[in-house]
Amino acid sequence: MKFLLPIDGSRAALAAVRHLLQLRLAGLDASCVLVNVQEPATLYEVVVAQDPETINAIKRDAGADMLEQAEAMLGGAGVNYESEVAAGTPATLVLELLENYGCDAVLVGSHDLGEVTMALLHRSPVPVTLVRVPDLDAEAADQAA
């Protein structure tokens, strides 16, 4: 089974990665596609940079940084994954990437029901699982014990 995981560098996105790892520990043969979608360049960025390739390089680097921790978690656990940084309208591109990679399901952290999550919930052709983010207070209590 192939999962799509939108990664934005948040705790919620990493909670989705941890959930995938738990599914694998439970015996599910799963691989995944990590995607980070960078917003299109703003007018300010275009005026200041004056070079589209500079803007693209900065956005690729920013996206790669956001994917780094998720890639390390999956690689350390021996999970097969692909990753992609794309630039454009996030909600639209995530849905396109979902179909382009032939994913069977989506795992997304439930930190908020932003534009990407709402687009997935309403327009995804495959099941979408919202992964609850562990409560910070509960995590702190567990670590203190």
4 is written with which tokens? 């799509």
Query: Which of 6-10, 23-27, 71-75, 103-107 is the least confident region?
Result: 6-10
Which position has the token pair 């995981």?
5
* Positive or negative torsion for Cα 72, 77, 83, 89: negative
pLDDT of residue 66: 93
Task: Give ∠ CA 11-8-38 in degrees, rounded to 5.
Answer: 165
Tracing tokens 């909670």 back to the chain, one arrives at: 15
Residue 49 corresponds to which tokens in the numbers above? 């940079």
Position 137 scores a pLDDT of 47
Q: How confident is the model at residue 37 (pLDDT cuts 50, 70, 90)?
A: very high
Closest CA to 95 of 74, 66, 115, 109: 115
pTM of the predicted model as reported, rounded to 2 decimal places? 0.84
3-state secondary structure of 8: coil
Both tokens assigned to 16: 């989705």
Do residues 55 and 45 touch, judged by C-beta distance below 8 A? Answer: yes
By the 8 A CB rule, do 137 and 22 touch?
Answer: no
Higher pLDDT, 54 or 35: 35
* Percent of the chain at pLDDT exceeding 70: 92
Q: Distance between CA 32 and CA 20 in Å, rounded?
A: 9
pLDDT digits 0-9 by tens, 72-113: 999 999 999 999 999 888 889 999 999 999 999 999 998 767
Residue 95 sits at φ, ψ, to 5 deg, of -65, -40
Is there a contact between 108 and 5 (Cβ–Cβ < 8 Å)?
A: yes
Q: What would the CATH number be for the domain defined by 2-144?
A: 3.40.50.620
